[in-house]
């Protein structure tokens, strides 16, 4: 067997071993209730068949995941102040656009 053929066979066995590890980790991740896929991914114009899926790094447990940040609720007075400020802002924008 040539050196190149031997190198290819070695790499293929390594690929098979890594894919088996990825499958095992994905199964564990699903059992722990974590999502198997990231929620947001950028899309590419290239064909998806040209790329191989990559396993996302798994969190140790649900408690290790960072909690989702939420906005502080606005009071009625704060909403009114924002509304007046934005109304004035857009009126000024319309006025500026009319001058051009």
| pLDDT at residue 32, as a whole number | 87
Q: In whole angstroms, what is the distance from residue 50 CA to residue 99 CA? A: 53
- Are the C-beta atoms of 28 and 58 separated by less than 8 Å? yes
The answer to whether residue 67 scores a pLDDT higher than 60 is: yes
Provide the CA 75 distance to its chain's centre, in angstroms. 32
**Mean of the per-residue pLDDT values for the chain?**
80
Question: Is residue 30 within 8 Å of residue 22, measured between CB atoms?
Answer: no
Question: Each residue of 12-31: pLDDT tens digit?
Answer: 999 999 999 999 998 888 88
Question: pTM for the whole thing?
Answer: 0.32
């Amino acid at each position: 067997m040539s050196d190149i053929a031997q190198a290819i066979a070695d790499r293929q066995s390594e690929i098979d071993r890594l894919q088996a590890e990825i499958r095992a980790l994905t199964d564990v991740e699903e059992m722990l209730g974590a999502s198997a896929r990231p929620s947001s991914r950028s899309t590419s114009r290239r064909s998806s068949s040209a790329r191989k899926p990559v396993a996302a790094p798994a969190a140790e447990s649900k408690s290790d995941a960072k909690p989702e940040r939420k906005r502080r609720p606005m009071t009625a007075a704060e909403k009114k102040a924002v509304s007046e400020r934005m109304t004035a802002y857009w009126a000024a924008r319309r006025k500026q656009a009319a001058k051009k």
